């Protein structure tokens, strides 16, 4: 009959109409809000960008004040608009684009009141100013900081310090520069950084994030982001270790012989202020050093390249694949060279002013190949800006921050190829017979840039996320920094560092509040992009040979992705360009396969080891053999072992003899001698371990000798003479307390007070042990149990506290986390505790069966004495309830059968202790 109107139906229809009208009204209100937001937001965005740009190009207090005011205005605008956007919740009722726009506007991350915002911005700007104005005094005039007339001796980062770090091979000069730069940047920034972290976390919590690190990670819109990063690191670590091993060997043997013996590399000798890329070492370490270099710096100078020409060259590349030319405003307002008459921020930066025409780059460009690549990288940002300039304001950003960094780097993969450099007249390739060798040189140079960077790109934000989360106390920040640099990069500082230093602040992005994980992401995904673009360009052959120059098909594929901005999650953008929704290191590993194989062959031929003493999970499948922490090969391992055994034999005999004598006759003299011999043995072990560690143990070919050396090198406790003596005194004193302990017969509780009371003293063997095994007197057993602990544990406790403190100190000195870690090390299994847990889980059901059976019996033996399901510890026939065999006769399944305990028979046959041993 179809639909029939009823009162109920009509009422429902009216309600539905109201809902639809409200929805339409909400949609119209939202659209109106978004239009107004776009119109007003562009003005604030432009003013903030312009004031920031002006400050970067003219660093002075006046421009800083203008910038801070503009930042405040934008911060207030963002907060007001976020609250307005939140009023439209639930966002799920809107269509996708409206919903995503409202979500982005409402999520500003940090919510501040005016005073907090001003203080936060002032902290960042002050740190930025410290960094930008930093310089190091010329080594011949190290006190120039206090001399206003000595400006000629001011070594600024660009170009002086950067060039010296790159070109110098003076170990001590590099150490001086490295140390002073950190003193003039990070150390001075530290007070501001502490406040910056505090305020940032407060603002993040108001924005519904647990801390600033969680807010930073939210831009990747992926709950598994951190896990993905760990997996990517595990993929690339074996290759990084191949490169690290090869470079370390060259540094030790050729460039800086006898200057270091750690398997981790001193951080100042890799050609870069932060050791984040190692291309400076190419000339000294290239596979085929006699072939023409793929570094075209000299050719650029011969051909009269200027910074302007370098930017024009980059524009030509983008234009050749169908992307944009730079705007007139770009050429008018960009800073392409460092001015001589004022202080500027030289860090290469691309800026979008949000008005669809003003795009700029600032860069203190130097005519060399590294800067040519950087120019392409920065112009890649501009191409991204221009591609999404017609998107709504809130979508004018990369699909994720890593995408933005990857675009210029993807283009640079083509620019760097010998084929492309030849096509633009910057490289003359070798004869055909040497092409493969030259290509290996090219790949090696790329690895020094791309692969060497990976751990640094990963660890900077791992470090800051730890700082933001509060998992690292502020008085341990620098310690944590060097833990991570050691763990991931295999580096050590060239000079001692303290927690008064703040070495992370020596890197531009830390004081300038710039998240860094984007660069690690970019380093990975640029190879995914390149592989996809090369396929679009119809490239055949090795991925490392591909040059997409002049391929409109590749440009179209790239532009389709760029124009999306952040209108869709990054996984959608990745799918548009690379036909996958995941990040993967496999295209990178494919790109570098030839040079990775070459490095592995060279390292194997040299008998080298891998790593730097850090123990990664076994699942990482790392190359073998593994290194210890030190490298200092000595000629004769067997001679060392022979001498060790010769010296150690008498020391160990004296130690065991003194210990045995004390056990058999616990006099004070024997105790002192036992302590003395224990300290002598420990000092010997520590000294021999130190010697053994100086050998290159991982490279010993003989497995037996290698194990002997590893055993000698392993010591559980390292203490100075005074502490070691005290440690053994504590052990012996506790042993003495235990060995001489007794309790008084309950009928004579004052047995301590006179010699006549001795007959009433119950010692452990045989009295207490026998009573615990045979008595069924609940209260007597309780009396014995309590009394024994009063006479042992209570008296031992002060000594045990000091024993733990000294033991942990000694274990840490020996390289362990604590004494427990030291003890577990003898099992030589990183999964030892996990295995124990699994074993316990296997036997627990059986133990519970036995426990339940025994509890049933004991409740009947001691009716009303206990009501807990757990058993009282004193009624199980043993002082520690560690064995229940003394309850066998009372609980055996078949008590009438002869016992398997042959004690009575042994007595009948007149057994003696000697006969038992015989």
3-state secondary structure of 514: coil
Task: Report whether pLDDT(463) > 80.
Answer: yes
Residue 908's pLDDT band (cuts 50, 70, 90): confident
Q: Is the overall model pTM greater than 0.85, yes or no?
A: no
Q: Which of 10-14, 103-107, 254-258, 315-319 has the lowest mean pLDDT?
A: 10-14
Task: Report whether pLDDT(509) > 80.
Answer: yes
Give the chain's largest Cα–Cα span: 114
Helix ranges restricted to H, 251-306? 282-285, 297-302
Whether 695 and 805 share a structural domain? yes
Whether 707 and 566 share a structural domain? no
Domains identified in the chain, total number: 4
Is 509 catalytic? The answer is yes
Q: Is residue 463 within 8 Å of residue 484, measured between CB atoms?
A: yes
Whether 859 and 815 share a structural domain? no
Q: When comparing pLDDT for 537 and 816, which is higher?
A: 537
Does residue 828 lie in a domain region? yes
Any binding-site annotation on 42? no
The predicted structure's pLDDT at residue 480? 97
Q: How far apart are CA 286 and CA 475, in angstroms?
A: 42
Task: Report whether pLDDT(654) > 70.
Answer: yes
The predicted structure's pLDDT at residue 700? 62
Q: Percentage of residues in the chain with pLDDT exceeding 70?
A: 95
Does residue 32 lie in a domain region? yes
pLDDT in tens, 324-364: 999 999 999 999 999 988 888 888 999 999 899 999 999 99
Q: How far apart are CA 161 and CA 155, in angstroms?
A: 6
CA triple 604-606-611, angle to 5 deg: 65
- In this structure, what DSSP letter does residue 251 have? I
Q: How far apart are CA 182 and CA 473, in angstroms?
A: 21
Residue found under tokens 């090390």: 825
Residue 8's pLDDT band (cuts 50, 70, 90): very low
Does residue 163 lie in a domain region? no
Radius of gyration for the chain, computed over Cα atoms and rounded to the nearest angstrom: 37
- Tell me phi and psi for residue 361, to 5 degrees: -130, 135
- Give the 3-state secondary structure percentages of the chain, helix then strand then coil, rounded to 5: 65, 5, 30
Q: When comparing pLDDT for 905 and 853, which is higher?
A: 853
- Tell me phi and psi for residue 882, to 5 degrees: -90, -20
pLDDT in tens, 876-886: 999 999 999 99
Q: Is the dihedral of CA 220, 223, 226, 230 positive or negative?
A: negative
Q: Which of 20-29, 440-449, 708-717 has the lowest mean pLDDT?
A: 20-29
The predicted structure's pLDDT at residue 4? 37
Mean per-residue pLDDT, 736-749: 91
pLDDT in tens, 190-202: 999 999 999 999 9
Does residue 300 lie in a domain region? no
As given in the structure block, the two tokens for residue 252 are 């030790």
What residues contact 340, with CB distance under 8 A and at least 6 apart?
none
Q: Of 590, 624, 658, which closes a domain? A: 624
Task: Report whether pLDDT(22) > 50.
Answer: no
Choose the catalytic residue: 378, 659, 688, 716. 378
Element (H, E) at 779: helix 778-791
The predicted structure's pLDDT at residue 413? 95
Helix ranges restricted to H, 306-429? 307-320, 328-333, 369-387, 401-415, 418-423
What residues contact 716, with CB distance under 8 A and at least 6 apart?
810, 811, 814, 816, 819, 822, 823, 825, 826
Average pLDDT along the chain: 89
Whether 897 and 910 share a structural domain? yes
The predicted structure's pLDDT at residue 12? 41
Task: Report whether pLDDT(833) > 60.
Answer: yes
Whether 413 and 552 share a structural domain? yes
Task: Report whether pLDDT(641) > 90.
Answer: no
Any binding-site annotation on 244? no
pLDDT in tens, 393-423: 999 999 999 999 999 999 999 999 988 999 9
Task: Report whether pLDDT(221) > 50.
Answer: yes
Whether 834 and 846 share a structural domain? no
Does residue 212 lie in a domain region? no
Q: Percentage of residues in the chain with pLDDT exceeding 90?
A: 65
135 DSSP β-pair partners: 156
Task: Report whether pLDDT(699) > 80.
Answer: no
85 DSSP β-pair partners: none
Task: Report whether pLDDT(912) > 60.
Answer: yes
Task: Report whether pLDDT(841) > 60.
Answer: yes
Does residue 861 lie in a domain region? yes
- In this structure, what DSSP letter does residue 768 have? I
Q: Which domain holds residue 30?
A: 7-108
Choose the catalytic residue: 69, 312, 337, 509. 509
DSSP line for 477-537: HHHHHHHHIIIII-EE-SS---TT--GGGGSTTTTTT---HHHHHHHHHHHHHHHHHHHHT
Whether 499 and 525 share a structural domain? yes
Q: Of 816, 840, 864, which closes a domain? A: 840
Q: Which of 176, 174, 172 is nearest to 142 (CA)?
A: 176
- In this structure, what DSSP letter does residue 670 have? H
Q: Cα dist. 639→134, 153, 628, 644, 645 in Å? A: 53, 54, 21, 8, 10
Whether 571 and 685 share a structural domain? no
Does residue 205 lie in a domain region? no
Q: Cα dist. 459→486, 606, 839 in Å? A: 10, 30, 37
Whether 586 and 645 share a structural domain? no
Mean per-residue pLDDT, 833-838: 89
Q: Is the dihedral of CA 647, 651, 653, 654 positive or negative?
A: positive
3-state secondary structure of 148: coil
pLDDT in tens, 720-731: 888 888 988 898
266 DSSP β-pair partners: 492
Q: When comparing pLDDT for 751 and 294, which is higher?
A: 751
Any binding-site annotation on 377? yes
Residue 141's pLDDT band (cuts 50, 70, 90): confident
Is 378 catalytic? The answer is yes
Q: When comparing pLDDT for 72 and 301, which is higher?
A: 301
Q: When comparing pLDDT for 843 and 638, which is higher?
A: 843
- Tell me phi and psi for residue 111, to 5 degrees: -105, 120
Q: Cα dist. 794→29, 261, 428, 730 in Å? A: 75, 48, 84, 14
Q: Is the dihedral of CA 711, 713, 716, 719 positive or negative?
A: positive
Task: Report whether pLDDT(390) > 80.
Answer: yes
Q: How far apart are CA 602 and CA 615, in angstroms?
A: 24
As given in the structure block, the two tokens for residue 81 are 């608009």
Does residue 372 lie in a domain region? no
Q: How far apart are CA 394 and CA 382, in angstroms?
A: 17
Q: How far apart are CA 154 and CA 360, in angstroms?
A: 29
Q: CA 669 from chain center: how many Å?
A: 52
CB-neighbour burial class of residue 644 (10 A; exposed 0-12, middle 13-18, buried 19+): middle
The predicted structure's pLDDT at residue 216? 97
DSSP line for 359-381: EEEE----SSHHHHHHHHHHHHH
The predicted structure's pLDDT at residue 732? 86
Q: Which of 143-147, 175-179, 270-274 has the lowest mean pLDDT?
A: 143-147
Residue 16's pLDDT band (cuts 50, 70, 90): very low
Q: Is residue 778 within 8 Å of residue 876, measured between CB atoms?
A: no
Whether 541 and 594 share a structural domain? yes
Residue found under tokens 């949000």: 354
Q: How far apart are CA 219 and CA 569, in angstroms?
A: 10
pLDDT in tens, 804-824: 999 998 888 877 778 888 888
Q: Is residue 177 within 8 Å of residue 161, measured between CB atoms?
A: yes
pLDDT in tens, 848-883: 999 999 999 999 999 999 999 999 999 999 999 999
Any binding-site annotation on 518? yes
The predicted structure's pLDDT at residue 152? 84
Instruction: Assign residue 613 a region (left: φ > 0; alpha: ψ between -120 and 50; beta: otherwise).
Output: left
Whether 266 and 400 share a structural domain? yes
Any binding-site annotation on 249? no
Q: How far apart are CA 834 and CA 844, in angstroms?
A: 15
Q: Of 798, 821, 840, which closes a domain? A: 840
The predicted structure's pLDDT at residue 451? 98
Whether 513 and 609 share a structural domain? yes
């Amino acid at each position: 009959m179809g639909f029939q109107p009823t009162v109920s139906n009509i009422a429902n229809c009216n309600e539905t109409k109201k809902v639809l009208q409200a929805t339409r009204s909400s949609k119209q209100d939202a659209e109106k809000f978004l239009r107004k937001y776009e119109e007003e937001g562009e003005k604030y965005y432009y003013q903030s960008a312009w004031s920031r740009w002006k400050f970067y190009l003219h660093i002075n207090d006046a421009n800083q004040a203008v910038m801070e005011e503009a930042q405040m205005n934008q911060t207030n605008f963002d907060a007001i608009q976020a609250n307005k956007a939140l009023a439209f919740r639930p966002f799920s009722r809107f269509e996708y684009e409206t919903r995503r726009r409202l979500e982005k506007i409402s999520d500003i991350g940090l919510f501040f009141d005016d005073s907090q915002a001003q203080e936060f911005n002032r902290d960042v700007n002050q740190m930025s100013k410290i960094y930008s104005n930093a310089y190091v005094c010329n080594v011949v005039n190290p006190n120039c900081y206090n001399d206003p007339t000595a400006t000629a001796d001011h070594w600024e980062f660009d170009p002086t310090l950067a060039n010296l770090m790159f070109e110098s091979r003076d170990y001590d000069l590099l150490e001086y520069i490295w140390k002073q730069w950190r003193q003039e940047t990070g150390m001075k920034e530290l007070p501001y950084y502490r406040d910056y972290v505090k305020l940032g976390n407060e603002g993040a919590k108001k924005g519904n994030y647990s801390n600033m690190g969680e807010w930073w990670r939210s831009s990747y819109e992926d709950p598994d982001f951190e896990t993905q990063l760990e997996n990517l690191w595990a993929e690339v670590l074996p290759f990084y270790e191949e490169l690290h091993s090869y470079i370390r060997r060259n540094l030790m043997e050729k460039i800086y012989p006898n200057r270091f013996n750690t398997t981790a590399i001193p951080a100042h000798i890799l050609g870069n202020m932060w050791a984040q890329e190692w291309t400076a070492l190419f000339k000294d370490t290239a596979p085929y050093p006699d072939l023409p270099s793929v570094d075209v710096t000299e050719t650029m100078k011969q051909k009269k390249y200027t910074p302007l020409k370098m930017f024009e060259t980059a524009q030509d590349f983008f234009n050749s694949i169908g992307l944009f030319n730079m705007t007139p405003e770009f050429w008018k307002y960009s800073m392409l060279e460092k001015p001589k008459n004022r202080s500027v921020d030289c860090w290469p930066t691309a800026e979008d002013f949000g008005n669809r025409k003003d795009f700029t780059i600032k860069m203190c460009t130097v005519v060399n190949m590294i800067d040519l690549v950087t120019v392409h990288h920065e112009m890649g940002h501009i191409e991204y800006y221009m591609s999404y300039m017609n998107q709504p304001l809130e979508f004018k950003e990369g699909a994720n921050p890593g995408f933005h960094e990857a675009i210029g780097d993807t283009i640079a993969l083509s620019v760097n190829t010998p084929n492309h450099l030849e096509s633009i007249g910057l490289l003359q390739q070798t004869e055909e017979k040497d092409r493969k060798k030259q290509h290996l040189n090219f790949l090696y140079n790329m690895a020094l840039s791309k692969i060497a960077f990976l751990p640094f790109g990963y660890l900077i934000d791992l470090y800051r996320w730890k700082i933001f989360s509060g998992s690292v106390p502020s008085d341990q920040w620098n310690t944590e920094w060097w833990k991570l640099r050691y763990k991931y990069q295999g580096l050590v500082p060239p000079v001692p560092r303290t927690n008064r230093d703040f070495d992370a602040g020596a890197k531009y992005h830390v004081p300038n509040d710039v998240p860094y994980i984007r660069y690690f992401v970019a380093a990975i995904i640029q190879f995914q992009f390149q592989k996809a673009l090369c396929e679009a360009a119809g490239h055949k052959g090795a991925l490392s040979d591909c040059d997409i120059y002049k391929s409109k098909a590749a440009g179209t594929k790239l532009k389709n992705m760029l124009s999306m901005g952040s209108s869709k999650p990054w996984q959608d953008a990745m799918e548009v360009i690379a036909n996958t929704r995941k990040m993967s290191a496999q295209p990178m590993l494919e790109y570098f396969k030839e040079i990775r194989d070459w490095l592995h062959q060279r390292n194997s031929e040299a008998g080298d080891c891998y790593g730097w003493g850090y123990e990664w999970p076994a699942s990482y499948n790392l190359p073998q053999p593994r290194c210890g922490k030190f490298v200092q090969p000595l000629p004769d391992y067997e001679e060392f072992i022979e001498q060790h055994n010769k010296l150690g034999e008498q020391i160990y005999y004296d130690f065991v003899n003194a210990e045995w004598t004390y056990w058999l006759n616990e006099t004070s003299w024997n105790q002192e001698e036992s302590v003395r011999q224990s300290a002598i043995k420990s000092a010997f072990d520590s000294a021999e371990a130190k010697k053994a560690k100086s050998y290159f143990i991982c490279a010993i070919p003989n497995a037996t000798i290698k194990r002997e050396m590893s055993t000698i090198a392993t010591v559980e406790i390292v203490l100075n003479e005074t502490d070691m003596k005290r440690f053994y005194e504590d052990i012996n004193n506790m042993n003495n307390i235990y060995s001489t302990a007794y309790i008084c017969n309950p009928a004579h509780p004052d047995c301590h007070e006179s010699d006549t009371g001795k007959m009433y003293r119950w010692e452990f063997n045989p009295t207490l042990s026998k009573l615990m095994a045979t008595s069924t007197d609940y209260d007597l057993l309780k009396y014995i149990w309590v009394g024994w602990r009063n006479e042992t544990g209570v008296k031992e406790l002060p000594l045990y506290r000091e024993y733990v403190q000294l033991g942990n100190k000694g274990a840490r000195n020996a390289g362990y986390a604590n004494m427990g870690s030291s003890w577990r090390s003898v099992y030589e299994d990183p999964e030892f505790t996990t295995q124990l847990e699994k074993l316990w889980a296997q036997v627990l059901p059986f133990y519970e069966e036995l426990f339940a059976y025994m509890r049933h019996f004991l409740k009947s033996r001691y009716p009303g004495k206990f009501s807990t399901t757990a058993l009282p510890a004193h009624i199980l026939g043993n002082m520690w309830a560690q064995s229940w065999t003394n309850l066998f006769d009372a609980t055996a399944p078949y008590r009438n059968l002869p016992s398997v305990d042959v004690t009575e028979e042994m007595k009948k046959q007149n057994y003696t202790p000697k006969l038992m041993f015989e």
